[in-house]
Amino acid sequence: MAEIAEWPRTRAPRSNGAREPLPRDHGRPLVATAQRKLAGLPGLDPVPPPWLHLTTLIVGFADEVPEASLEVKVTAARRALARVAPVPVTHGGVFYHPEAVVLAVEPLGALDPVLAAVTAAASAAGCDAHTGTDPWLPHVSVAYSHATGPAAPVIAALGRWLPRTEITIRSVSLVAQTQVGRSWQWRPVAEVPFSSGG
């Protein structure tokens, strides 16, 4: 039987990255539904609404990325993402990872042009960057795990599918993030919109 396990800790996480904001009018109600179904289960910390996101790329620790590199990265991201159209995606499939309960983003590969653009921007700024998973599997975290325990009660409460919800990703937020307790928080560096199609 699978288990939900405590998230391992690493160096005091303060990093720069690119996150796609979850649209308030579409994606957030589905996350709220999932969090209500998980309420009361031990070992899970729901992601607060202001911090709902889809992580695209992690670009080093904040103290290792000079301000000048950030400016180059923002300029390069604006240039690259101006050629990317808004991306319609669907979520509703539930995945259970030892560190989190997440909603999958489909179709697989739909956000690859966004990843390519922000990776190119990081490279132009001379920054090392990586995705949070290898291969990259875009997802929205519903809750993080802070204890080890059986996955069966969590799966029984939430199931494998929630009602499929379509959302359109229209921008990337470049952020400086930090881990506060058992949650991720950040301050925006720049909001970079995709092509308007005009």
- Residue 83 in domain: yes
The answer, yes or no, to whether residue 137 has pLDDT greater than 60, is yes
The answer, yes or no, to whether residue 82 has pLDDT greater than 80, is yes
Across the chain, the runs of DSSP E, i.e. the strands, are: 3-4, 14-21, 44-46, 53-61, 87-97, 100-106, 139-145, 149-150, 161-169, 171-180, 183-193
Task: Kindly report, residue by residue over 138-150, the tens digit of the pLDDT.
Answer: 888 899 998 888 8
- Residue 99 in domain: yes
In 3D space, the residue among 176, 182, 180 whose CA is nearest the CA of residue 19 turns out to be 176
- Residue 11 in domain: no
Q: Which domain holds residue 67?
A: 44-193
The answer, yes or no, to whether residue 64 has pLDDT greater than 70, is no
- Residue 153 in domain: yes
pLDDT band at 95 (very low <50, low <70, confident <90, very high): very high
- Residue 25 in domain: no
Count of structural domains, the chain: 1
- Residue 56 in domain: yes
Mean pLDDT of 157-162: 95
The answer, yes or no, to whether residue 58 has pLDDT greater than 60, is yes
Q: What is the pTM of this model?
A: 0.81
CATH code, 168: 3.90.1140.10
When comparing pLDDT for 110 and 7, which is higher?
A: 110
pLDDT band at 113 (very low <50, low <70, confident <90, very high): very high
- Which of 59-63, 151-155, 193-197 has the largest mean confidence? 151-155
Q: Return all residues near 144 (Cβ < 8 A) that are at least 6 apart.
A: 7, 44, 45, 47, 99, 100, 182, 183
- Residue 141 in domain: yes
Task: Kindly report, residue by residue over 12-56, the tens digit of the pLDDT.
Answer: 344 455 555 555 555 788 999 999 999 999 999 998 888 888 888
- Residue 27 in domain: no
Task: Kindly report, residue by residue over 169-191, the tens digit of the pLDDT.
Answer: 888 888 777 777 766 777 777 88
Mean pLDDT of 124-146: 84
